[in-house]
Structure 1
């Protein structure tokens, strides 16, 4: 059983930069200061039999650990990536250099801002495809912010290593 966090909450949960764990699955004891928490959570999970009760215990643990404030720059980065704002424009708006913005993004999300934007655009395409049965790939590409259908197809292949018909199923 594991916890999957939204983009902005990962750093708050970990309590530090996500850079060392980019593209990795992290066990709870590997987080700084979480060794005792891992023991407590393991004991709670062992004491509860049903998977629903275990999931509830894990969610409660995550909520208490997420008490830290979210980084306002990370929240702004996520918002600008969702709307497809260029990285340089976001940096100017936030009063940061592009390089500093890149470092903050990698620390907060474990990936550079351009990769974050690509993933969010692909997620938007998947949601559109699932919700609109009559919308073809060209329509999904145009609505989600891709240049054209071939751009969508390349991005799907690069990010999911499969073809659009598998990665973007209809409802």
Structure 2
């Protein structure tokens, strides 16, 4: 198996809006906050030796368990993009890691695994697979992208529904299929990601909370604990 870098790494994908990432075995086994995979509204196509998986949208932090030590390569698609590639509503995969063979013909998946396992660069081979699936899929839904963009920018759910011309129930139903959960949950997860980006760039936590849309720093701390399962200070140190 080809050696990967000594740490987690990512780069923009040739698939618009996607990211290609790699994570070696030594880092996958990290304990504490460093080993957490935080919810981000995205879904991933993942390779690890002999397996192809789909990571559904998470509602809380995920930590690889025993036997899930890696190494890994993945293609992370932007919120709402994966269901069209798989033909499966995102809500059916929420908080799950599912073998691709459960969603596509087993013989086809077995061939794909063999090809990626023996590739000089498994991450590049996995990216090629994602590009192939995207080429076969229906065009990405512009309304779904508009919803994700509005919520990522901090717009409220009601304002987002009005912007895209949907009622509250319609927006909730479309969000379940596209993102795996309702717009309020997606907005909360994207707010967490905005806050972490600000804090990691050096913005003080009180200012981070205000700029990300929290009532105060205590509100930010509670949200991080509930979604990540660890204090915000521990998360930032990791």
Fold agreement, TM-score > 0.5: yes
For 1:80, the equivalent position in structure 2 comes to 150
Indicate the residue corresponding to 1:24 in structure 2: 96
**TM superposition outliers: structure 1 runs of 4+ over 4 Å:** none
Tell me by how many angstroms 1:145 deviates.
1.6
8 Å CA contact 1:130, 1:169 repeated in 2? no
Gaps in structure 2 of 5+ consecutive residues: 1-47, 49-72
Helix, strand or coil for the counterpart of 1:26? strand
Larger Rg: 1
- Describe the superposition over 1:34-58 as per-residue Cα deviations: whole angstroms up to 9, x where unpaired: 534312211202433x4xx122111
Partner of 1:35: 106
CA RMSD for the aligned pairs?
1.8
Residue of structure 1 in register with 2:38 after alignment: none
How many angstroms does 1:65 deviate by? Answer: 0.6
Q: How many residues align structurally?
A: 164
Give ranges in structure 1 of 5+ residues lacking alignment.
Answer: none
- Structure 2 CA distance for aligned equivalents of residues 147 and 24 of structure 1: 31
Does 2:131 match 1:63?
A: yes
TM-score, L = length of structure 1: 0.87
Q: Distance in 2 between matches of 1:119 and 1:38?
A: 31
Written as runs of structure 1 = structure 2, the 5 A alignment for 1:80-119 is: 80-119=150-189
Q: Cα distance 1:40–1:163, how it changes in 2: closer, same or farther (>3 A)?
A: same
Alignment partners' CA distance in 2, 1:160 and 1:126: 11
Name whichever structure is richer in strand by fraction: 2
